[in-house]
Amino acid sequence: MAATVIDGKAFAARVRGQVATHVAALKADHGITPGLAVVLVGEDPASQVYVKSKGKMTLEVGMKSVEHKLDAGTAEADLLALIHQLNTDPEIHGILVQLPLPGHLDEDLVINSIDPAKDVDGFHISNVGLLGTGQDSMVPCTPLGCLMMLRDHHGSLSGMDAVVIGRSNIVGKPMAQLLLGDSCTVTIAHSRTKDLADVVRRADIVVAAVGRPQMVPGDWIKPGATVIDVGINRIDKPEGGTRLVGDVDYDSCAAVAGAITPVPGGVGPMTIACLLANTVTACCRANGLPAPEGLTV
Ligand SMILES: Nc1nc(=O)c2c([nH]1)NC[C@@H]1CN(c3ccc(C(=O)N[C@@H](CCC(=O)O)C(=O)O)cc3)C=[N+]21
């Protein structure tokens, strides 16, 4: 039986709708407009497109959007000064510094200079520690989006075997924490994992986040398993031009999986929706208001 396709694009539109409702209520009841600042260093064309679409969606849900574009050679001290200014700006509730940064900038230092309460990416060491210990934190957008889709599809994840392929700080590790928090038995696999195929074959839930196009074939997937594809890779088409593919081989995986997220239209749109959700959450917390239910863990 063919897999159910989990429509991340439609799901993300619903999440943005909920965000817009909360934004409208914050304005009407409290006179507060949540504000998101995005900082982009350098001129990577893909990053520019992505930042532009984030800005557009931020405005669409009724929030304030601020973009800071710095040139590729920006000195670290100048970037830190900008972050300090955003940290102290009462109209800014969320700060995102687009990664990766040019090589001369210390990424850890830059991320850890963001006020953890405004760290809507959830990458600050304080948020990583809070998530790891099960305390309220800002949760990284991509793993949060994946968890929302998994909860929606399965209801409870309790007792399921989950395999996360990839151990990055931005996806693999926080994804594993979230699945553990929902009582999955979690394995983190990576490039040095022995017998990766056999490890993945045990999984009820597979989250692929390695950044290698189509590396997970269908014969690694247990029949009926749920496959969440975090990869967004641009590859050349044989007839010319390019297309986006994920980290799983979609056709062969969809033939055996119970459910699967497509690329594009799966995890990607959910990442942006969760960025907006995190900004509302940060704004509520900053103002001593309860964070909206359903928009965070
Ligand atoms: N601090 C930081 N936080 C991020 O969250 C972050 C970042 N830096 N650096 C870059 C990556 C990339 N990223 C994407 C999010 C959504 C889509 C997305 O919506 N993709 C569409 C397709 C878009 C297309 O057609 O090109 C989809 O999958 O359907 C893509 C890429 C967030 N990132």
Query: Do 34 and 110 have their domain in common?
Result: yes
Please indicate, yes or no, whether residues 102 and 164 belong to a single structural domain of this protein.
no
Does 70 reside within a domain? yes
Q: Closest residue (by CA) to atom 9 of ligand 1?
A: 99
Residue 160 and residue 55 share a domain: no
Residues 6+ apart with CB under 8 A from 284: 22, 26, 290, 291, 292
Query: How far from 270 is each of 1, 167, 274, CA to CA, in Å?
Result: 26, 20, 6
Where in the sequence is the domain holding 64, given as residue range(s)?
Answer: 30-117
Residue where one domain finishes, among candidates 117, 149, 181: 117
Q: How many domains does the chain have?
A: 2
Whether residue 54 is contained in a domain is answered as yes
Residue 19 domain-assigned (yes or no)? no
Would 278 be classed as within a structural domain? no
**Which atom, in ligand 1's list, is nearest to the CA of 141?**
5
Residue 282 included in any domain: no
37: which strand partners? 66, 95
121 is catalytic: yes
**Buried/exposed 154-183: b ≥16 CB within 10 Å, e otherwise:** beebeebbbbbbbbbebbbbbbbbbbebbe
Residues 150, 257, single domain; the answer is: yes
Is 232 touching ligand 1 by the criterion CB < 6 Å? yes
In a domain, 126, yes or no: no
**Does residue 261 lie within any of the structural domains?**
yes
Nearest-10 Cα torsion for 157, 209, 67, 74: 140
- CATH (domain of 105): 3.40.50.10860
Ligand 1: distance of its center to the CA of 160 in Å? 28
Instruction: Measure Cα distances from 209 to 65, 109, 197, 213, 224 in Å.
Output: 29, 24, 15, 10, 20
Distance 275 CA to ligand 1 centre (A): 11
Any ligand 1 atom below 6 A from CB of 276: no
What CATH number does residue 213 fall under? Answer: 3.40.50.720
| Ligand 1 atom closest to 232 (CA) | 28
Tokens at residue 243, please? 């297309």
pLDDT per residue rounded down to tens, the chain (297 residues): 789 999 999 999 999 999 999 999 999 999 999 999 999 999 888 788 888 899 999 999 999 999 999 999 999 999 999 999 999 999 999 999 999 999 999 999 999 999 999 999 999 999 999 999 999 999 999 999 999 999 999 999 999 999 999 999 999 999 999 999 999 999 999 999 999 999 999 999 999 999 999 999 999 999 999 999 999 999 999 999 999 999 999 999 999 999 999 999 999 999 999 999 999 999 999 999 999 999 999
98 given a catalytic annotation = yes
